[in-house]
Each structure stands twice: as C-alpha cells, then as structure tokens.
A = this chain, B = another copy of it.
Amino acid sequence: MPETANSPGTRPTLRDVARHAGVSAMTVTRVLRDDDRVSAATRERVLASVAALGYRPNTVARSLRLGHGSGLVGLVVTNLANPFYSRLALGVDGVVGAHGLKTVIGNTRQSVENERDLVADLVARRVDGIVVVPAGGDQRHLAQAAAQGVPVVCASRPPMGFAADHVLVDDHGGAVEATERLLALGHRAVGYLGPPASVHTSVERLRGYRETLAAAGVTVDERYVRQGPVDVAGAEEAAGELLALPEPPTALFCSNNRNTIGAFRAVRRAGRGVALAGFDDFELADMLGLPLSVQSYDSDELGREAGRLLLDRLRGPATGAPGPRRVVLPTRAIQYGEPGPPGPAGPAG
C-alpha cells in the first residue's frame, strides 16, 4: 500500500516528485522516459520518490504539450445493445488498442441530433479519429469533423456528401443471393421486411431483392414490402400482417436480424409454413426448428477493418492524402434446417 497523498483529492505532480527526490522536474521526466543521460544513482532516487508518492504521470498534460492527439478514438454507433454493434466495437477497439489508443463509445439511439452532439464533443476532446455508423441522412457534422482534420471512417454505411474512408458489407450482393435462394426453392410470392428507407443498408438490400425478383420475371407485390420495423416487436407485428393477407407470401426476405427474429416469431405463432431468408446471422438460429437461410458476415471484421483504415490515416499522413478508400466485406449464405418449396402446409417443421 503506497503512502497516502499529502492532501486527499490532490494528486502528486512531477514537481512533487522532483522536490521529494531533490532534483529538477526535467530529471524526473528523463527517468520516466528512459532517457539514458541520467546517473544510475539519481535514477534510483527518483524512482523511489515516484513509488513513495504514488505518482502517476498525467497523460492529458503530456499530450497537450506534445501537441498530438489524446490517444483516443471515438466510436459512434446507433445502438450498442445490438450485438452487431458491440462486436463492431470490439473489432475497432482490438485494432486501435494494439496501437495504444483507447476507444470512447457514443451511443446515439438512432438520433441524428445525438450523433451530431457526440461528434462535436469528440472533436472537442481532440480524439485522434472517429469511427461512425451514421444514423441517418444528414452527415454534415461528419463532413465538418473531417474538414477539421479529424479522420472519419464510416462503417456499415457510406459517407454522403463528403469523402471519407469507409467499410461496408456487400448489402446488395447478399440480398441478391438470399432472394435467389428463395426463388430457387420455387417461391414467387416473396415478401420483404426491413428498416425504413433512412437506413442505407436497408435501401441496398431492398434494391437487391427487387432486382432479383425482376430479373426472374416476378412482379413484386407492393403489399408484401414492409419498410419500417427496427426492432423485433415491430417486425413481428408487420410480419403478422403480411401473413394475414388474403394471399399471403410464401416466403419472406428479412433485411436484418431484428426483422428475421420478428418474422420467425410471427411465423411460429401463425403456425404457418413460410420460408425465411434473412440478413445477419444470430445466436441459436440453428435451434429454431424452422428452415432458415441467412446471409452471414463478420461484424468483428467490419470493426477491425474500420480500425485499420483509421490507423492508416493516423500513421501515414506523410504519404500525402490518398483518395478515400472503400472496403466491402462479403457475405456468406448459411442454411439452417432443410428448406422446402412453397405449399399449403409449407416447409414448417
């Protein structure tokens, strides 16, 4: 147990250590920075004082003096409770943490306004960079941050109206593949369930769905398309409505795991056989006793990639400013259970 500080609440400073050791502040710094131009004896004495006072260097003051950033990376997501984002956070933190940077989280709860405030705050805190999953349409605050010299990396959704590195999932390609799988099973009445049009991924996935059906000569029944649900409860309700239509769809493509789970609950409740294809894998998907195919991708990797892009910007400003980079992560189809063709009984187990 170290000696208690002189006055509680007041923490020892470099000068306190210097006084205690009978040297100058400069010498203490040198010892702490492993500068070799200091005698062994002095070093010992200083180290002893450091221990005696329980001194801890003040990183804040240090980085202020040094001019460079705070050693913090801001991470702005819409909902950390969603495993997708917490894994992304882990990925980012893992990569930047290996370079001595810490991650500051900001949760926007889907609010663009919160996002703007958060980003402003992070900039004011002099974060070295920001990884953001933009919440909505207006991204002027991001453009501003970027313009002010804070590197911004967009994850999962692209920058709009300004240039920034970004890492995306192959939303369109994944949606095409998922929809094709349903078509291949013979389904023609294929519904869509996903978040509102303000969400970029949703737009792309819906586009993939539409194009695929069109290419197969299937006309999309607009009553089958529900853009809106953002959580399981909303998705369950919307799916329930689709299933209650006079001629309900025989298959549903769900644009993210919230919607897939909601749809699953509705299908189970209705006791009806409806084929499900979803975007995003999720835990226990294989245990649901209903055939289900999902387009899976690695959200840790999404975060790691975002972290790498950011690090590249931080490390290599010397290399000039190469154009913004884009990374697209592939998706992979996973089939749970044996899928079946459309029919009155349907493929339910």
A interface residues, Cβ below 8 angstroms from B:
1-2, 4-5, 8-9, 11, 54, 56-61, 63-64, 70-72, 80-81, 83, 85-87, 89-90, 93-94, 97, 102-107, 120-126, 143-144, 147-149, 261, 264-265, 268, 283-284, 287-289, 300, 317
From residue A264, how far is it (CB to closest CB) to chain B in Å? 7
Task: Name the residue on B nearest A82 (C-beta).
Answer: B86
CA distance A266 to B149 in the complex (A): 53
Task: Let me know if B58 and A147 touch, CB within 8 A.
Answer: no
5 A-B pairs in the complex with CB atoms less than 8 angstroms apart: A60-B63, A71-B125, A80-B93, A264-B287, A289-B289
Task: Let me know if B102 and A125 touch, CB within 8 A.
Answer: yes
Q: Which of B56, B63, B87, B265 is the one whose CB lies under 8 Å from A148?
A: B56
Task: Name the residue on B nearest A65 (C-beta).
Answer: B64
CA distance A331 to B261 in the complex (A): 26
Q: Which 4 A-B residue pairs are closest in the complex by CB-CB distance?
A: A86-B86, A59-B124, A59-B125, A284-B284
CA distance A102 to B75 in the complex (A): 11
Chain B residues within an 8 Å CB radius of A284: 261, 283-284, 287-288
Of A63, A103, A264, A284, which is in contact with the most chain B CB atoms at under 10 Å from its CB? A284
Chain B residues within an 8 Å CB radius of A85: 86
From residue A14, how far is it (CB to closest CB) to chain B in Å? 13
A60-B125, A147-B2, A149-B9 known; A90 vs B80 contact (CB < 8 Å): yes
Chain B residues within an 8 Å CB radius of A4: 147
Chain B residues within an 8 Å CB radius of A61: 64
Q: Which of B81, B121, B288 is the one whose CB lies under 8 Å from A287?
A: B288
